[in-house]
Structure 1
Amino acid sequence: MHVEPQVFDVLLYLVQNRDRVVSKPELLEAVWGSRYVSDSALTSRLKVARRAVGDDGRRQQLITTVHGVGYRFAADVTESGPPAPDQQPVRHRTAQQIRYCRSPDDVRIAYATSGVGPPLVKAANWLTHVDLEWDSPIWAHWIEELSSAHQLIRYDERGCGLSDWDVREFSLDAWVEDLEMVVDAVGLERFPLLGISQGGAVAVSYAVRHPTKVSRLVLAGAYARGRLARAATPSEREEADLDLRVGRIAWERDDPGYRQVFAAQFLPEAPREAWDDFNRLQRATTSTANIARFLDAFARIDVSDIARNVACPTLILHARRDRRVPMAQALELAALIPGSELRLLDTGNHIVTRFEPAWSDLVEQLNDFLLADGS
């Protein structure tokens, strides 16, 4: 079984120190150094390490958990070469490869792969950029975590990032077709699919169109109906329409004040620096004209009729105090998708940040769900 570098480093460190119990802080320091990672990140690597050596969390014949203390490699080890020098394992940073494919309507779509392991596909969401996200404080921890035990495939939707910006059609059908094209380009047969925010509707549509391809579906901060689509009363429609018109004008005028308000909707419980990072990323991802088109198209999304046809196991993760996509949307998705599991995260941030407790919770829920059947 081929394992990704961090899993190997965890296993190697435990084998090298098999004569004693290794504490959790020591193992985190040995593999990740001064870089902050959550306890659940270590837990997920240990799960994969156990699978790699034919162990599991219940039997623990090789890698044992000493509760309240740490972990120990308990099997006999025979060294066939000279003793290894007393050194910590080499730390690796996941690399990514960026490639292109071209849609039937001649739109060039950029996609990136990172990590090693079973595939995990992420549907594109609001203003992606596969290159700039790599080092962005907003998305880097997502990419690192999702690539830790999987080959992560993500892409820039038409109109933004490294994909073509000058495109004729912005629609749910076009976005689903772009996802289909990326999946075909990578050559995937069956895989779990992640949809974040508006990407959730794209993921739902794809899962319904291709039930034999999607093994598991994860929806984070997602919704079935956009703001205009779910407006049920004249006042709600007026409010939704006003929000769109203000957004169009503000983005076209490159209004910094509005951008701060917009960022605050996505990251209300994050520090001000996160708002600035979010705004810088948005401005670099696409044109102001395209942002207005995205806002309009996203507001009209409606997959409520087809969500009932999702046939795969589905996990719904949502911030309790989400201002951009209210929790009611998660409740609606959970009611629509048969057998789906809903897990609420204790945060108000639409995009969960690295340094908040909700991130550890999200990672643990996600990994447990994906590893339930070896996805």
Structure 2
Amino acid sequence: MRFTFGDIVLDTDRFLLERGGDTLHVQPQVFDVLSHLVLNRERVVPKTELLDTVWGDRFVSESTLTSRIKVARQAVGDDGILQTVIKTVHGRGYRWVADVTVEPGPATATQPAPTPAARRLEQRIRFCTTPDGARLAYATVGDGPALVRAAHWVTHLDYEWESPVWRHWMEGLSRHRMLVRYDERGCGLSDADPDDVSFEAFVSDLETVVDELGLERFPLMGLSQGGPVAIEYAVRHPERVTRLVLVGAFMKGRLARARTPEELREAELQRELIQVGWGRDDPSFRLYFSSTFMADAPPQLWSDFAELMRRTTSTENALRLNDVSIAMDVTESAARVSVPTLIVHGRHDMRIPFSQGVELAARIRGSRLVPLDTRNHLLMPDEPAWGQLLHELDEFLADDESTSSPREVHGVS
């Protein structure tokens, strides 16, 4: 059905939210909250009902619901003071109060419109232990042949599942396949206080996860900082990696490639910003990182990413992880990569310069470089570069996946 109020259109059949004819991109949970409230606008909807409807049997705190209500209000031009669309009924829940015009959709009694729960991907989170005793959290999404994504700069399997920064990555990368990802040690649901934070430990963590899953041969993706880790793994285990995909990756970290006083100062400044501002409630320091990761994203996404980073790891761990990342150098290993390799990089990437993609393509024999027309390091779902990335990935993995079939791996069915 289509619900119109003011210049806003909420289409529950097409999962579409528009304002003034322009599509509004919101998190799936935000859309589901709006849908459930407008569908039940004749009554107060209890908080427990919203939690059960939108998140099902997943445990989330009431503060998560409160944050989604806040974003929902912002999306439709409301706020917690005016409450012209969503009214808080203290002690009970929320009620839709805006007048709406309703247009029936194509659904019939025999063919009901899909519910939010029916279209939501299922994330399966499990844990394993590395040889040095660190606990790692890993997750699988989707079904079919596996695609393993090496861990990169600060992840959180649970929080990023609801993040508008990452949600479309999981949906896109798990199309026709099972996406495997994990939290780097010191991040997210993995061990928060590991003894060893080093490049060798990062490679060992990747080895541990794929061994735990019982994966024998699989394509491997390295995004950003995950690129050097994926390259090193592919060199050490060429018999297991069928294809290598490097997205916005680098051969040398920021400090390792610095050649001028200005470049050295930039590396030092990044460390100082982490040290001074990472743990503060004021997100202004972390917004620097957000703006370099997503130069052309709306400011709200900068704030979402800044908050995700703070939740993901401590200031101390952020510093340790940063120090390892900026010193990475896989120049020698890149020349030894022997598996088919696809390199995708934004021409105007504000985080990792395009020159690093060029250097990788020149170093990895037989690799193919695909430039993307974007300034974003983390691609947005509504930019053409995102669709191009998915197309190139599907094309590159097609031959690999045609020879594979969905199968049960250890711990995943």
Q: Same fold by TM (over 0.5)?
A: yes
Match of 1:87 in 2: 111
After superposition, the C-alpha distances for 1:173-195 in whole angstroms (9 at most, x for unaligned) are 10010000000000000000011
Give the match's secondary structure for 2:356. helix
Comparing 247-256 and 221-230, the one that deviates more: 247-256
After superposition, the C-alpha distances for 1:195-234 in whole angstroms (9 at most, x for unaligned) are 1000011100110010010001111110011011111244
1:33 aligned onto 2:33: no
CA distance in 2, matches of 1:367, 1:360: 11
Give the match's secondary structure for 1:374. helix
CA distance in 2, matches of 1:87, 1:254: 48
Paired residues in the alignment total 299
Q: How does 1:130-145 map to 2 (within 5 A)?
A: 130-145=157-172
Q: What's the CA shift for 1:276?
A: 0.9
Match of 1:282 in 2: 309
Give the match's secondary structure for 2:291. helix
After superposition, the C-alpha distances for 1:249-297 in whole angstroms (9 at most, x for unaligned) are 3325565222122211111101101101111111111111111111111
After superposition, the C-alpha distances for 1:70-89 in whole angstroms (9 at most, x for unaligned) are xxxxxxxxxxxxxxx96379
Kept in 2: contact 1:252–1:289 (CA 8 A):
no
Q: How does 1:105-124 map to 2 (within 5 A)?
A: 105-124=132-151
Q: Which of 143, 148, 159 lines up with 2:186 in the alignment?
A: 159
Give the match's secondary structure for 1:290. helix
CA distance in 1, matches of 2:167, 2:123: 12
Task: Report the residue type matching 1:34 in the other structure.
Answer: F
Task: Report the residue type matching 2:312 in the other structure.
Answer: T
After superposition, the C-alpha distances for 1:136-183 in whole angstroms (9 at most, x for unaligned) are 101111101111211111100100000011011111110010000000
Identity %: 52
Question: What is the RMSD of the two structures over their aligned residues, measured on CA atoms?
Answer: 2.2
CA distance in 2, matches of 1:334, 1:221: 12
Q: Normalized against structure 1, the TM-score is what?
A: 0.75
CA distance in 1, matches of 2:130, 2:298: 39
CA distance in 2, matches of 1:301, 1:222: 11
Q: How does 1:152-231 map to 2 (within 5 A)?
A: 152-231=179-258
Task: Report the residue type matching 2:352 in the other structure.
Answer: V
Task: Report the residue type matching 2:154 in the other structure.
Answer: L
Q: What's the CA shift for 1:109?
A: 0.2
Kept in 2: contact 1:254–1:288 (CA 8 A):
no
Kept in 1: contact 2:290–2:302 (CA 8 A):
yes
CA distance in 2, matches of 1:340, 1:109: 31
CA distance in 2, matches of 1:245, 1:361: 36
Gap change, CA 1:242 and 1:277, over 3 Å in 2:
closer
Gap change, CA 1:337 and 1:175, over 3 Å in 2:
same
Give the match's secondary structure for 2:171. helix
Q: Normalized against structure 2, the TM-score is what?
A: 0.69
Gap change, CA 1:235 and 1:134, over 3 Å in 2:
closer
Structure 1's unaligned 5+ residue stretches are 1-28, 38-84
Match of 1:311 in 2: 338
CA distance in 1, matches of 2:245, 2:298: 27
Give the match's secondary structure for 1:193. strand
Q: Which of 387, 404, 407 lines up with 1:360 in the alignment?
A: 387
Q: How does 1:245-324 map to 2 (within 5 A)?
A: 245-251=272-278, 256-324=283-351
Kept in 2: contact 1:325–1:350 (CA 8 A):
yes
CA distance in 2, matches of 1:238, 1:260: 19
1:232 aligned onto 2:259: yes
